[in-house]
Amino acid sequence: MLLSQTLCLCLALAFSSAAPTLHDVMMAGPLDHDHDHEDQAHHKANPDRCDGIEFDAIAPDEKGHTFFFKGDHLWNGFNGPAQVSSAFFKELDDYHHLGHVDAAFRMHNKEKPKDHDHIYFFLDDKVFSYYNHSLEEGYPKDIQLDFPGVPGHLDAAVECPKGECNSDSVLFFKGDEVYNYDIATQSVKERQWAHLPNCTSAFRWLEQYYCFHGHNFTRFHPVSGEVNGVYPKDARHYFMRCPNFGHGGEAKVPKCSEVTLDAITSDDSGKTYAFTGHIYMRLDTHRDGKHAFPIARTWKELDKGVDAVFSYSDKIYIIKGNQVYIYKSAAPSTLIEGYPKSLKEELGIEGPVNAAFVCADHHIVHIIQGQKMQDIDLSATPRVVAREVPLPIAGIEAGMCGPDGVKVYVGSKFYHYETPRLLAFSKMSPEPKKITPDMMGCVE
């Protein structure tokens, strides 16, 4: 409950002036650490991003911290004041001409682990490669040496992994030209997306692509350039917390000991969702930080929270009260026609349900109600409870089956079993484990 209260507070703030197509609400992740302030005397006065500025570049690092660059300053994350860039990327000060960067992106290149997750900065006709906030040997070098066919004096750059682009690629922007650079073949396709404003920075965040121009941004499709929805939007409503822009308060990151889950599931593509109160959190997005969203943003019929969620055969089943909602897993989540249906009709049971999970490639959904577990074969019709067993532990509110076994959540702790069978029949309960910052983006 506490998690939902604190998160709902910050999301309510985030939402108060949000547009209906809101796609970009975020809470500060646990990653926004305070860094020591260096002596800033010889730098220009700290810019304020709430004034409505145009960023030079935006890029995440290998840990999922997002950096916004302006002149010789940067912001680390969606919260907090400007800091001197060289406090984070030390060598930037050694190159005295480097008062700013033109463009930056984080490399996605699984073929070449040596380059993967490096941040590349572009200035004039030079490129700088950083990893772990250290400049790699041999850099800076001419852009042409690393990215043949890509011009100097760029405006913006953004990674585009295979799956979202046809191959692992980088999109470079200069004026109204877009250079689609294929990392493996080093080939460049040049195009113009006349309807897209000239981007002065570009950012990929949670599988979406954003072109920033002035203090606005426009979301676009990385292959077609298509823009859907009402754009531009003012970045101050979405990517930073500014007074008078709906983000009046500081996000309060909950304590791990206060986190309780209503449901948790992982779909076939590995997307993992934890649900609590009115919000859900993606847990598999290490590269972009962990972020909370209102459940109704993705599953719009579920504005009153959920009781249990499981994934089965490219679909996500959400149980609330006596109803089952079935959605296609693929984005955007769409409710399957004819749903919601009653639990009785769909699964042959009465609600409420505390937790539910299916193990990969199995057809059995394990439904936990109070201190009993019922197994229902999803491949059979009609669906009936094939087996019911009492459970050794009480108070389970959420459960998930993954490659490493079953985890069931009781309050802010969880129990780990290798199989559903062991959950049902173990004579001794394992020691409960605590939810950690690593798991849920909470603080100790």
Ligand X SMILES: *[C@@H]1O[C@H](CO)[C@@H](O)[C@H](O)[C@H]1NC(C)=O
Residue 274 CB, nearest approach to ligand X (Å): 29
Catalogue the E-assigned strands of 132-267: 134-135, 141-142, 156-160, 169-174, 177-182, 188-192, 201-205, 208-213, 216-220, 233-234, 263-266
Closest CB to ligand X among 177 and 301?
A: 177
Residue 299 CB, nearest approach to ligand X (Å): 29
Residue 155 CB, nearest approach to ligand X (Å): 9
Residue 90 CB, nearest approach to ligand X (Å): 9
Closest CB to ligand X among 119 and 306?
A: 119
213 binds ligand X (CB under 6 A): yes
Closest CB to ligand X among 175 and 229?
A: 175
Instruction: Label residue 442 exposed, middle or buried (CB < 10 Å: 0-12, 13-18, 19+).
Output: buried
Length of the chain: 444
Q: Which helix (H) or strand (E) element contains residue 410?
A: strand 405-410
Closest CB to ligand X among 89 and 147?
A: 89
- Distances 172 to 105, 131, 200, 436 between C-alpha atoms, Å: 9, 20, 10, 38
Query: Of the listed pieces 41-49, 211-219, 363-371, 424-432, which binds ligand X according to CB under 6 A?
Result: 211-219
Whether the Cβ atoms of residue 383 and residue 238 lie closer than 8 Å to each other: no
282 binds ligand X (CB under 6 A): no
Closest CB to ligand X among 59 and 156?
A: 156
Q: Residue 311: what residue type?
A: S
The Cα 301–Cα 280 span in angstroms is 14
The Cα 395–Cα 369 span in angstroms is 9
| Candidate list 79, 216, 342, 426; residue touching ligand X; CB under 6 A | 216
Whether the Cβ atoms of residue 60 and residue 66 lie closer than 8 Å to each other: yes
For residue 85, give the DSSP letter: G
- Give the footprint of ligand X on residues 230-259 (CB under 6 A): 232
- Give the footprint of ligand X on residues 50-79 (CB under 6 A): none
Q: Which helix (H) or strand (E) element contains residue 143?
A: helix 143-146
Closest CB to ligand X among 132 and 429?
A: 132
Whether the Cβ atoms of residue 204 and residue 24 lie closer than 8 Å to each other: no
Query: Of the listed pieces 1-9, 208-216, 249-257, 333-341, which binds ligand X according to CB under 6 A?
Result: 208-216
348 binds ligand X (CB under 6 A): no
291 is in an annotated binding site: yes
Whether the Cβ atoms of residue 34 and residue 259 lie closer than 8 Å to each other: no
Closest CB to ligand X among 203 and 409?
A: 203
Query: Of the listed pieces 80-88, 212-220, 286-294, 424-432, which binds ligand X according to CB under 6 A?
Result: 212-220
Whether the Cβ atoms of residue 160 and residue 15 lie closer than 8 Å to each other: no
Cα angle 199-200-204, degrees, rounded to a multiple of 5: 70
Query: Of the listed pieces 29-37, 38-46, 92-100, 213-221, which binds ligand X according to CB under 6 A?
Result: 213-221
Closest CB to ligand X among 176 and 258?
A: 176
405 binds ligand X (CB under 6 A): no
132 binds ligand X (CB under 6 A): yes
The Cα 94–Cα 165 span in angstroms is 36
| String of contacts with ligand X for each residue 173-202, x by CB under 6 A | --xx--------------------xx----
- Give the footprint of ligand X on residues 157-176 (CB under 6 A): 175-176
Tokens of 179: 């250079």
Q: Residue 244: what residue type?
A: N
Question: Residues marked as binding?
Answer: 247, 291
Which residues participate in the annotated binding site for heme? 247, 291
Q: Which residues bind ligand X (CB under 6 A)?
A: 132, 175-176, 197-198, 213-214, 216, 232
